[in-house]
Chains A and B, each alone.
Chain A
Amino acid sequence: MNDDGCYMIGFSGIDGSGKSTQAQRLADWLAQAGADVFMTKSRPRAITSIFRLSEQLCGDPYAYHPAFPATLREMLVASDVEGHQHHVLEPNRRRGRIIVTDRCKYCFETYAHAYGADMTWISKVYDIVRAPDLIFLLDVPGDVAFGRLLQRSEKPPKSDENPEFLETVRQHYLMRATLLSNLVIVDGEDTADQIAASILRYLAEHAPFPIDPAVLGQAEALA
């Protein structure tokens, strides 16, 4: 644990990799084990103006790439991430909670790189955003992720969610993963139950807080 008693776990991966599912499952398991857990996701605020502009100019709120300059767009994303840290993560960190974040600054930085943004100032913003103590990268090939996105009837794929771009982002993730000592790559093609159990098992072995063996047993039984 950190000096303040907080521990932050971030989930990362391309769209369709299963981040939200696994972040929620982990938060549920930890809560069931009696942990003071807080699950969160950076809310888009500044970037919503881009969706509005994209809709006006292109007729599609998600046709922002490559219609609008990546550097400007990604600076907005960075501002949103910075605001999320300031207004949401820090207060919960000060309360000494276990924080589970669906996406983290590593995700947003990776996407900015993949979009080809000029990172000069974007990186300076991310430098003041706290990194998770532990990051799980759910690794799936671009075509597998795209297949999953197609199945989300409530949320059709965005214009930049295509197998080629998803694979490009995946390669950026894997390249950047070699630079991070606190990142664990998880095979995202396993079943959701198998992934959830393997994540909980990893935490039971490595996290600086105890995982109730009974809860781990339940997760492994499901897998």
Chain B
Amino acid sequence: MTTLVAIAGVDGSGKSTQVRRLVAALNDCGVAAQAYKVNHLASCGFMWLAERMTGDPFNFHPLIPSTLREFTVATDVVRCYFQEVHPLTSSGVHVVWDRSPLCYRAYMRAYGADTTWPEALIGLIPEPELTILLDVEPDVAMTRIMKRDGAVRADHTLPLLERAVAAYRQLARESPDVTVLDGSRCEDDVADLVAGLVRRQGWVPLAAPCMEEQP
């Protein structure tokens, strides 16, 4: 059986780093695993539109109605899942999803979209076997984003991060399948915790040293 693991969290929570580390750890154990991130073919049109209207592709919120945007984002997610993720898992590859249905649900709430139809679309995707939420305080995420990107994008604001963190936490409380980890810990600690969670899924031999949790 192959598995879909999702790593979720706000921008700046360390998702991509942990996805990369988990895939490397699994590969080191001889497990066929691959990172995956949605290709936003349709929703990037909003960035072109925002750029045309304001000169800044990231200035789409609140300029363009969030329900239209989030519905379009959801179609990208559904298309990518069925055209790319599902074929991978069906062919025996474990997929570590950078972002997840949980992410898109959290952000559609954070942006204040009418979630009726975006949720209907996201609901087409089976829940991952394991969803890990890297929980960080908004100011921690903001500090990391500023360090990483230099300039802060128009869609990276503290109020949005606060709403996104609140939405994630609410959704995590409602979803027994979501495991919350403290994403503000150091990268190595988080990587060990993630590895431990995955190890307990039974993907790899329990004795595999590369997946052992550090004391």
Contact = CB atoms under 8 A, between A and B. Distances in A.
B181 interface: no
A79 B78 contact: no
Contacts of A75: 68, 71-72
A86 interface: yes
Contact of B82 (A52, A76, A78, A124): A52
Interface string A48-78: 1110110011000000000011011001101
B78 A49 contact: yes
A126 to B, nearest CB: 10
Interface string B37-62: 00001111100110011000000000
Summarize B's interface: helix, strand, loop or mixed.
helix
Given A46-B75, A52-B82, A72-B68, A80 B42 contact: yes
Interface string A27-58: 00000000000000000011111101100110
A49 B45 contact: no
Nearest to A80: B42
Given A72-B117, A76-B72, A125 B45 contact: yes
B79 A49 contact: yes
Nearest to B52: A128
A55 B43 CA distance: 23
A192 to B, nearest CB: 34
Interface residues of B, number: 25
B87 to A, nearest CB: 15
A49 B65 contact: no
A174 B78 CA distance: 36
A19 B41 CA distance: 27
A121 B65 contact: yes
A157 interface: no
A83 B68 contact: no
B140 interface: no
B32 interface: no
Contacts of B43: 79
A58 B64 CA distance: 30
A75 B78 CA distance: 16
Nearest to B46: A79
Interface string A117-151: 00001001100100000000000000000000000
A102 interface: no
A51 to B, nearest CB: 10
A129 B58 CA distance: 20
B117 A69 contact: yes
Contact of A46 (B42, B67, B117, B124): B42
Nearest to A128: B52
A49 B48 contact: no
A83 B42 contact: yes
A53 B67 CA distance: 17
Given A76-B42, A121-B68, A53 B76 contact: no
Given A49-B78, A72-B71, A86 B48 contact: yes
Query: Nearest 6 pairs between A and B by C-beta?
Result: A46-B42, A49-B75, A49-B78, A79-B42, A46-B75, A79-B45
23 contacts: A45-B79, A46-B42, A46-B72, A48-B79, A49-B78, A49-B79, A49-B121, A50-B75, A52-B82, A53-B124, A56-B124, A57-B120, A71-B68, A72-B67, A72-B117, A75-B68, A76-B75, A80-B42, A83-B42, A83-B45, A86-B48, A121-B65, A124-B53
Given A52-B78, A72-B71, A82-B48, 6 more contacts: A45-B41, A52-B82, A52-B124, A76-B72, A78-B45, A83-B41
